[in-house]
């Protein structure tokens, strides 16, 4: 059964500087909270690990390697512990487009009509005007992005598939609103790409 759209998720972080995680909670459904572990990366350990539940005892849904000295991210859809159960994708910032980050995935979306998976491209763009429904953009936050289909540098923007609106409030990162229902794998990629951008901005 299709999920209602738009769907909104609150993204939070611990108030303590000694804890390293993000939480992703559907509005009105705290029991479906997802846990995202943050840690210093190494050659083998990812920067972010998204779990399919409220702690790290649940299965891994996705990981992100935030590459140092490079505007690239290496994203794993699935658990890298099983090389047959993970699909690797890249998110990149095209040359000359500082606020655009492109990624793609094989997608079984209900709107393609064929039922077959097809590779589709998406781009996160920093936005000053688009917000999650009912929210106002904080003048102090530069962590606001909208997700569009297509490639970076397109002549014009299309339908906003998702939008993240950052907030300046202790313990909170902001609200992620997903405006389409393209399935669980698409949602997972939206979560991990958005959080990767947020984490890199936090470090910068």
Band the pLDDT of 42: cuts 50, 70, 90: low
Please compute Rg for the chain using Cα positions.
Answer: 16
176 or 99, greater pLDDT: 176
Residue 73 β-bridge partners: 66, 91
Q: Find residue 166's DSSP bridge partners.
A: 174
Reply yes or no on whether the pLDDT at 74 is more than 70. Answer: yes
Beta bridge partners of 21: 37
Statement: residue 88 has pLDDT above 60: yes
φ, ψ of residue 149 to 5 degrees: the values are -90, 145
**What are the phi and psi torsion angles at 145 (to 5°)?**
-135, 150
User: How far apart, in whole angstroms, are the C-alpha atoms of residue 27 and residue 117?
Assistant: 30
Residue 188 has pLDDT above 90, yes or no: yes
| Cα distance between residue 13 and residue 3, in whole Å | 26
pLDDT band at residue 153, thresholds of 50, 70 and 90? Answer: low
Average pLDDT, rounded, for the chain: 89
| Average pLDDT over every residue of 58-66 | 97
What pLDDT, on a 0 to 100 scale, did the predictor assign at position 110? 67
Residue 36 contacts residue 22 (beta carbons within 8 Å) = yes
Measure the CA–CA gap between 173 and 157, rounded to whole angstroms: 25
Is the predicted pLDDT of residue 161 greater than 70, yes or no?
A: yes
């Amino acid at each position: 059964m299709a999920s209602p759209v738009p769907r909104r998720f609150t993204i939070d972080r611990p108030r303590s500087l000694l804890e390293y995680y993000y939480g992703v909670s559907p509005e009105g459904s705290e029991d479906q909270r997802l846990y995202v572990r943050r840690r210093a990366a190494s050659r083998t350990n990812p920067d972010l690990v998204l779990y399919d539940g409220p702690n790290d005892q649940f299965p891994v849904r996705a990981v992100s390697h935030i590459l140092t000295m490079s505007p690239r991210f290496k994203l794993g859809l699935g658990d890298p512990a099983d090389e047959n159960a993970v699909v690797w994708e890249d998110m990149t910032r095209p040359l000359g487009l500082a606020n655009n980050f492109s990624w793609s995935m094989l997608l079984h979306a209900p709107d393609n009509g064929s039922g077959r998976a097809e590779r589709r491209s998406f781009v996160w763009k920093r936005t000053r005007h688009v917000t999650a429904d009912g929210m106002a953009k904080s003048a102090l936050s530069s962590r606001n992005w909208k997700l569009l289909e297509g490639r970076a540098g397109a002549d014009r923007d299309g339908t906003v598939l998702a939008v993240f609106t950052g907030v300046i409030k202790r313990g909170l990162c902001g609200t992620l609103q997903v405006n389409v229902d393209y399935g669980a794998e698409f949602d997972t990629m939206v979560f991990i790409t958005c959080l990767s951008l947020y984490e890199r901005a936090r470090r910068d």
